[in-house]
Structure 1
Amino acid sequence: MKKMKKYLLALSLFISQILTSQDCSDLFISEYVEGWGNNKVIELFNPTMNPIDLSNYVLSRWSNGSTSPTPVNLSGTIMPNDAFVICIDKRDPNGSGFEAPIWNGWYIFTDSITNMLDSIYTEEEDLLSKVDLFICPSYDCAMYFNGNDAVTLETVSGDFIDIFGKIGEDPGLGWSDGTGAIWTQDHTLIRKNSVKSGFTYDPGQPYTFDPSLEWDSLPANTFVNLGFHDCNCDNYIEVSGCTDIYASNYDSLATLDDGSCEYMNVNINKSIDFSIYPNPSNHILNIIFNENQNDFKVKVISTIGRVLFEKKFGSVRLNKVQINLMDIYPGSYFVVIESNFKNYIKMISITQ
C-alpha cells in the first residue's frame, strides 16, 4: 500500500508538471530543420510577455540512442512572442565535405553559351540570412543531429524544458508516424500552433515518440518559415508605439498605436480602396480594387515586418488579382498594395 501511494504521488507530481507547463510560460522548440549537408537548425519560440536570456539555457544532442548528452550553452536574447533561429556554424564558402557551408541562396554555374561563371539567387534557399545564432563549428556538439538523435532544451541547472525524440532510443534512420513514414530525417518540422509549451515525459513510463502528434512536416531544406512562429498563446503584451509599417519610426513590438507615427517622403493614403476574399483564407486570396490599378506591387508582410510575399503587376483585368500563399504558415499578416500614387494596407488571416 505504501508503494502504491508513493507511485500515485510521483505520478501526480509528473502530471502536475506537464499541466503547469502548458501556460505559455517558457521557451520551446518551434522548428526543426534536418536538411541536406550542414543545413541543421533549431528554432526556439518565446511565448511569454518578457524577453528571455538564452544564457540560462542549454541545447543537447543525444546521439544514436545514447543516454549521455552532448550539450552546448546558448547566448542571446529572445524578445516576447518572437522566434530565434540557431544554426550549425558552417559559413566558409570554400568548405567541402563535412565543412560544406550552409545554403545562402546563391547558385554559381558556368553559362553554357558564354562559358562564363554566372549566379542565381533564390530567396527560398537562403538559410544563412535567417540565422540569429551560429554554434558548434566542431563536430562534437549539439547541432550535428541527423534524424535519429534526440534533441533537448534544458536550463543550465539541468531541468528539461523540451524533448524532441526519445532519449536512449535509436530509431534507425529516424522517428516515424503511425504509418511508418520517417519524419525526422531530411525534413523540416514546424510545431503545431496548438502547442503552447515544451514536451517532457516520465522516463520510467512507456513512451513512443510520434512526431505527427505535435509537428507539421515539410520537405527537406524548407526555410521560409524560420524567424517567426504562430502559437495559440494569449500572453501578448500590450506595447504602445507606432504600428504603421510605412512610418519611419515603426515599432515592430508595438501592439497599440499611440499616434506617434512619423513619415519621411512617403505618400500615405490609408483609405481602404480594395477588398480581399475570402478572409480568413486557406492560402488563395482574391484582391478586388475599387478603381483601376496599373504598375503596382502586392506584398504580404508579417506582424514583425518581414516581407513573405512580393509580386509586381503591370495591369489587372476587371480590377481583380489572385495570389497564392501556400508557402506562408497560418497566422495574421498585412497585405500591402504599393503603387506610384497610393499605399493600401489591410489585415488578413491565413488558416490551415
Structure 2
Amino acid sequence: MKKVILSLSCFAVMASAFAQDCTKIFISEYVEGWGNNKALEIYNPTDQPVNLSEYFVARVRDGLGLSSLTAQNCVQLTGVLQPHSTHVGVLDKRNPAGTGQEAPIWDSLEVKADAFYSAVYNNNNTWYWNGNDAVALFKGNASTPLSTSNVLYDIMGKHNQQTAVGWSTVSPYDGTAGGANDIIVTEDHSLIRKPGIKRGLTIQEAAAVGYIFNPLEQWDSIPAVVNRLDENGNPILNNQGNNVVDGNWSTLRWHACECDPASLGVDAMNLDEIKLYPNPTTGAFTISGLDKVATIEVYNSLGQEVTTIRNNTQTSVSFDLTEKTGIYMVTVTDHSGRSATQKVIVK
C-alpha cells in the first residue's frame, strides 16, 4: 500500500506543472471496434514537432490502478508528431490468414495507421484493450512504468474502477444504471475528444477523491461500424441478407481542436466529407468531397511525387495506378494551408 501511495503522489507532483491548455499532446480518439480493430489517436496541439519516442501508452486492466502497470502493458511510441497533427497507433494484427485471437484488423483501419503496436500478446498486451480498460498516455519510459520520473499526460477511463463491460452514458457511468439510455460507449465504439478540450487529464484530476469518469463530458461517441449504402441511401445486403458494414473510422488521422483555429474555420475542409475509395484498390481510386481542397498530392512509399493537382476546382478526382502495386500517400490541402494524409494500398 505504501508503494501505491508513493507512486501516485509523485505522479501528481510532477503533473501539476502540465495542466496548461494547448501545450502538451493528448489522446484525441479511442477506438474499440469489432474483433481486433483497436486504435488510439494522439494529437499535438502545439506549434512545435514532438518526438513520440519520449512517450508511452499504458493499458490499465480491469479496474486496476496505475500502480499495477508493468512493462508488458506499456509500449513506447514511435515517430515524430507534427504541429496540429495526429499519430494513429493500431493493433499489429496484419496476417490475412489469422483466425480467432489472431484475426487481422480490417483493411480500412490498416490504412489509417501511422504505426502498429503490440504484435504478440504474450510479449506486450498494451493495445489489446477492452471496454473496461483505462488507456493512459505518459511521458517517460515504458520499460519502467512506475518510475517517479514518468508523467501522466492523459487517460481515457478511470483507473481503480471496476466496470463489468465499460463506461456508459448514465450516472454512475459504469453500466449499472440500466435502461435503454444507459449505453456502453467504450466497447464497440469510438470516442472522439470534443473540440473544446485543449489538454489531457492530469494525475491530480484522475486520482482526485470523488472523481467520476463521465465519457460524454469530454468525448463524442460513434459506433464501431456503419451500414454501407447504395446510391439511393439504402443499406446494401450480403448473400445472407444481412447488412454490409464498414468500419466507422473516417475521423481518424485528423482532429478538430480549438488549439488550431484553422481546423474549425468555415473555409477549412471537412474531412468527414472527404472519401477515398476503394481502399485497398487494384489500381483505380476516387477522392470525393473536395470542394474546399486546393491541392491533391500522391507520393509513393519512397517519398517520390507520383502526381499533383494544384488549384483544384473539382469536387471529385480519380486516379489510376494499375500495375503499380505498393503503398501510396495521398495528401489533400485546403486554402488555409491545413492538410491531411491518407494511405492507399494498391494490390
Taking structure 2 as the reference length, the TM-score comes to: 0.59
* Contact preservation (8 Å) 2:268, 2:292: no
How far off is 1:84 after superposition? 0.6
CA RMSD of aligned residues (A): 3.6
- Cα distance in 1 for partners of 2:168, 2:106 equals 27
How far off is 1:299 after superposition? 2.1
Structure 1 pair 335/213, CA: closer, same or farther in 2 (3 Å)? farther
**Counterpart position of 2:128:** 144
How far off is 1:225 after superposition? 1.0
Structure 1 pair 177/103, CA: closer, same or farther in 2 (3 Å)? same
- 1:156-183 CA distance string (max 9 Å, x none): 1321000110111121111012252211
- Cα distance in 1 for partners of 2:20, 2:249 equals 27
**Counterpart position of 1:232:** 258
Residue in structure 2 matching 1:172, options 164, 170, 177: 164
* Contact preservation (8 Å) 1:49, 1:235: no
**Counterpart position of 2:37:** 39
- 1:191-212 CA distance string (max 9 Å, x none): 1000001013252411111110
Describe how 1:189-228 pairs up with structure 2 within 5 A: 189-200=191-202, 201-220=205-224, 221-228=247-254
* Contact preservation (8 Å) 2:269, 2:293: no
**Counterpart position of 2:80:** 77
How far off is 1:301 after superposition? 6.0
The alignment partner of 2:16 has SS state of: helix
**Counterpart position of 1:55:** 53
* Contact preservation (8 Å) 1:38, 1:100: yes
- Aligned-pair identity in percent equals 39
Structure 1 pair 216/346, CA: closer, same or farther in 2 (3 Å)? same
Residue in structure 1 matching 2:115, options 133, 147, 151: 133
- Cα distance in 2 for partners of 1:35, 1:138 equals 19
How far off is 1:335 after superposition? 8.2
The alignment partner of 1:55 has SS state of: helix
- 1:51-89 CA distance string (max 9 Å, x none): 100111010001101221221111111001101100110
How far off is 1:22 after superposition? 3.6
Describe how 1:1-352 pairs up with structure 2 within 5 A: 17=16, 21-67=19-65, 68-69=68-69, 70-104=73-107, 126-139=108-121, 140-156=124-140, 157-178=149-170, 179-200=181-202, 201-220=205-224, 221-234=247-260, 299-300=290-291, 336-337=313-314
The residue type paired with residue 290 of structure 2 is K
Q: Which has the higher strand share?
A: 1
- Cα distance in 2 for partners of 1:26, 1:304 equals 30
- Cα distance in 2 for partners of 1:219, 1:143 equals 19
- Cα distance in 1 for partners of 2:27, 2:127 equals 14
How far off is 1:17 after superposition? 3.2
**Counterpart position of 1:325:** none
Structure 1 pair 306/57, CA: closer, same or farther in 2 (3 Å)? farther
* Contact preservation (8 Å) 1:136, 1:142: yes
- Cα distance in 1 for partners of 2:36, 2:83 equals 29
- Cα distance in 1 for partners of 2:295, 2:150 equals 33
Taking structure 1 as the reference length, the TM-score comes to: 0.58
Count of residue pairs the alignment pairs up: 233
- 1:104-136 CA distance string (max 9 Å, x none): 1xxxxxxxxxxxxxxxxxxxxx11111001010
- Cα distance in 2 for partners of 1:235, 1:282 equals 13
The residue type paired with residue 149 of structure 1 is D
The residue type paired with residue 193 of structure 1 is P
* Contact preservation (8 Å) 2:267, 2:335: no
Q: Which has the larger radius of gyration?
A: 1
The alignment partner of 2:53 has SS state of: helix
- Cα distance in 2 for partners of 1:73, 1:339 equals 39
Structure 2's unaligned 5+ residue stretches are: 1-8, 141-148, 171-180, 225-246, 274-287, 299-310, 318-333, 337-347
- 1:293-336 CA distance string (max 9 Å, x none): xxxx76246699699xxxxxxxxxxxxxxxxxxxxxxxxxx984
Structure 1 pair 202/144, CA: closer, same or farther in 2 (3 Å)? closer
